[in-house]
Amino acid sequence: MRNRSRLIRLTLSYGVLIVMSILILYPLAWTIGASFNPGNSLISTSIIPKNPTLAHYKELFEGSASLPYVQWYVNSVKISFFTMIGAIISVSFTGYAFSRFRFKGRKNTLTIFLLLQMIPQFSALIALFVLAQMLDMINSHWLLILLYIGGLIPMNTYLMKGYMDSIPMELDESARIDGASFTRTFWQIIMPLSKPMLAVVAMNGFTVPLGDFVLSSVILRTTEAYTLPIGLFNLVNEVMGASYTTFAAGAILISIPIAIVFLLLQRNFVSGLTTGGTKG
């Protein structure tokens, strides 16, 4: 009876895993197949193209005045990289402050951080656009980077604070007894021990700009300044001929920098996800 129950549980578990894998991998496989399919339409596209071609990839890298894909790619990677660096630095400081110091309004601020995550991004678009105009930074990648960093701080601070709470205070006290300042304790003890959560923050900081369309479309106005989401959207929005297969090729190439960053961070990434949700 026990073996039968165990067999049923295993069957259900594997069944769910297989269904979820199909739901995830099928669209990816279809997109990859479409990127090698001749023509511009998805109607005749199959997962395995009958006459595969690299023409769409060649079109992207050859570039043109209306399709500067390489420039969009560089723009996106630049914005993602500096957003990642800015998020790591800012979240490290805020997480350390909330974890190790007690000050007036500490708990209320953490609550506000969580509430900010519940507000839809588009509700602040008008205010952000007006701010960009006032600062004369319309079409500025640096303003976009600052906005992304600001949006990443609330939730990631809560995660970083939770992770640093799991680091024993005795380590800080021992360092203080040995004459270490708060700064030295932060850099030489807390930061090395926080690598798993730093990997999570880095991954979040890198992937958010690569997948964002709404905010970037409000700030960026010229074709040369576009990021990949805006540029690829125009490919299927009749602006550049509604080339769905070229869009598929461009979408597949977006995954390359994300995969590279994930492979570099994967050693610490999983443990950071599973540890950073504690409350203090």
Q: What is the DSSP code string of 191-258?
A: HHHTHHHHHHHHHHHHHHHHH--HHHHHH--SGGG--HHHHHHHHTTTSS---HHHHHHHHHHHHHHH
pLDDT at residue 43 above 70? Answer: no
> pTM, whole model, 2 decimals?
0.82
How many CA atoms lie less than 13 Å away from 135 in the CB half-sphere? 15
Is the distance from CB of 139 to CB of 172 less than 8 angstroms?
A: no
d(CA 114, CA 50): 50
Confidence at residue 81, expressed as pLDDT on a 0 to 100 scale: 95
Residue pair 47/33 in contact (Cβ under 8 Å)? The answer is: yes
Domain locations along the chain: 55-275
Kindly report the average pLDDT of the chain as a whole number: 83
Rounded CA gap, 30 and 33, in Å? 5
Low-confidence winner among 15-19, 34-38, 164-168 (lowest mean pLDDT):
34-38
CB 159 within 8 A of CB 96: no
Mean predicted confidence (pLDDT) in 8-35: 86
Is 256:177 a contact under the CB 8 Å cutoff? Answer: no
Q: Would the pLDDT of 148 be above 90? A: yes
CATH architecture of the domain with residue range 55-275:
Orthogonal Bundle (1.10)
Give 141 or 25, the one with higher predicted confidence: 141
Report how far residue 32's alpha carbon sits from residue 41's, in angstroms, rounded to the nearest whole number. 14
Residue-wise pLDDT for 68-92, tens only, equals 888 999 999 999 999 999 999 999 9
Q: Which of 234, 26, 254, 227 is nearest to 139 (CA)?
A: 227
117 against 188, higher pLDDT: 188
Are 38 and 53 within 8 A, CB to CB? yes
* More confident site: 20 or 7: 20
